[in-house]
Amino acid sequence: MEFRTIAIKFLDKDGHQITVDGYKSLDKRTNVVLHDNAVLVPGVYPPYYNVASDNDLSKLSDDGDDIEISGTNSVTGQTKTTVVKVSGGCNCHVSRISGPDSLKFD
């Protein structure tokens, strides 16, 4: 059995992965927050940030929803936002249609 997660990572201006404050993934079609925290995996640091997973399959459309991703760099206070298009619905698994897998701060 397979379980899929679409994740995003945040990078500082030098390209190093960092943790962020105030993370959320918001489905722009339904205005529902899908995820608002980091996923902690033992032995993996910094954590990854869940955009959508198979747990969200029924909340997403077959054609894809725009998921707005945002987070704030805890060191600089800068907030970055991007959009990842994700499909779900009757499909077997969530799927990234478009959008980045990382977000870099200035």
pLDDT band of residue 1 (cuts 50, 70, 90) is: confident
3-state class of 42 per DSSP? coil
- Residue 77 corresponds to which tokens in the numbers above? 């206070």
Q: Which residues pair with 36 in a beta bridge?
A: none
* Alpha carbons 76 and 8: distance in angstroms, whole number: 20
The per-residue pLDDT for 90 is 76
Look at residue 56 and give its three-state secondary structure: helix
Judge whether residue 51 has pLDDT over 90. Answer: yes
For the whole model, what pTM was predicted? 0.89
Q: pLDDT: is 99 or 46 the higher one?
A: 99
Comparing 92 with 68, the larger pLDDT belongs to 68
- Bridge partners, residue 79, by sequence: 72
pLDDT in the model for residue 41: 64
* Closest by Cα among 90, 94, 75 to 34: 94
pLDDT in the model for residue 40: 66
Strand pairing of 44-53 and 5-11?
antiparallel
Q: What's residue 10's pLDDT?
A: 94
